[in-house]
A and B are shown apart, each in its own frame.
Chain A
């Protein structure tokens, strides 16, 4: 049994995928656009959504993350969830933190805590909340 987070970017999924490729070295496993859906599914799709992302799977490190443009409402909004990213060194953690924060907002600057040599929180430019850390062993 496997669980993956599935994020809805409401129209900005491809932009997000490209951003995560640069920021955290994500790689694309699957990108399926609405126009690639079988004909019976196509009938339910609103005009203008054809080039939007129906389903995508990207790999960040060892983890799979799913993305979609959802209802293509135009404004993504994320509540109640944060994605944690575990780096293996302080340098890597700092680099990921800076990259994810580009165009976004730092909510807690990187610092040492009782559980991590580096820990910080940042909202990326799409509104996804991240915790970046190098955990103490």
Chain B
């Protein structure tokens, strides 16, 4: 049994996947658009204009699979109540990952030494996803 986070980008999923490929070395393992849905029928069940949008995608960052979708495609992704905690091997990798993920976003807590990690920081990326970046202790 395993748990995977599923993120809803509300119309910006493909843009997000491209961003995470560059920022965190993400590899897209699977991507299905609304128009490719085997149960699509006449398309009346999907959001208006969503045919080319992402119904479901799976991407891997390091060893972790994350799922993503455009959901209702309203164009207003909102992420609240959670962060994704990313653990890397060394300080150089933490710096690189933090800087890349924060591009166009907001550095909520710059990378710093804490009692639990040699380097820990928090950011909100350009889509509104909150990340914690840390070096494994």
Contacts and interface: CB of A to CB of B under 8 A. Distances in A.
A61 B1 contact: yes
A40 to B, nearest CB: 8
Interface residues of B, number: 39
A120 to B, nearest CB: 14
Interface string A59-103: 011110110000000001111111111111000100000000000
A77 B64 CA distance: 25
A118 B97 CA distance: 37
A135 B62 CA distance: 23
Nearest to B71: A80
B77 A80 contact: yes
A4 interface: yes
A83 B81 contact: no
B3 A84 contact: yes
Interface stretch (B45-53, B83-91, B104-112): B83-91
A63 to B, nearest CB: 4
Interface in B23-38: 24-25, 37-38
Contacts of B8: 80-82
Contacts of A113: 39
Contacts of A88: 1
A136 to B, nearest CB: 12
Contact of B115 (A41, A66, A114): A41
